[in-house]
Amino acid sequence: MSGPHAGVLAEARSGPASGPRVGVLALQGDVREHAGLLSGLGARVTRVRRPDDLAVIDGLVLPGGESTVIDKLARLYGLRDPIRDAIAAGLPVFGTCAGLILLADRIVGAIEGQQTFGGLDVTVRRNAFGGQVDSFETDLDVPALGAPPVHAAFIRAPLIDQVGPDALALAALPDGRVVAVEQGALIGTSFHPEVTGEARFHRRFLDHVIARS
């Protein structure tokens, strides 16, 4: 492989003994899928359930699930403020579906009292595509990842209503609605690459982790 990410990707695949240290927030949602994919890319994975777990990681994944439940549990276990502080300090974070909502600075359709970790200069609409029965899969062109198209699974997915000046849209549906963004070392997707086995977003996230560590 050639290109600007080749060196760090080679390092990321060097094995669990020397790979980047990555946490997956393990309060609710598709934790196992993310952990398996990241381990396959050579990362050393920690399931984050308490504030002390943040001390041993260089990057964090916020999985899909139910954003309101993850928010409540994060506050219950004392994780919300430490994660917010870590993001503000530059911790690379990758959020998928509910994880995107948790990274957003602004939410449309939030329940009363719902909070986020913030960091992404975006406005996200919860359940924008409908309920579980409205889930769908499609192929997306993602220029930053190159060919072939990304096969994306949308499951009770949010939509990025507005991309602020600090964030960059990475992917959109054919009608122009944005479904993936990046801002510095933060990445958010409306869909679930871990469900379809699409590893390129995770590789891009690991590039950020390695560059910072």
Active site annotation includes 198: no
What Rg do the C-alpha atoms of the chain give, in angstroms? 16
Go through 84-115 and write b for each residue having 16 or more CB atoms within 10 A of its CB, e for each that does not. bebbeeebbbbbbbbbbbbbbbbbeebeeeeb
Active site annotation includes 192: yes
Residue in 5, 34, 182, 192 annotated catalytic = 192
Which long-range CB contacts under 8 A does 31-36 form with residues at least 24 apart?
31/63, 33/63, 33/192, 33/194, 33/195, 34/61, 34/63, 34/96, 34/194, 34/202
Residue in 194, 198, 202, 208 annotated catalytic = 194
Residue in 33, 97, 182, 202 annotated catalytic = 97
Cα–Cα distance, 179 to 194 (Å, whole number) = 15
Write out the catalytic residue numbers.
Answer: 97, 192, 194
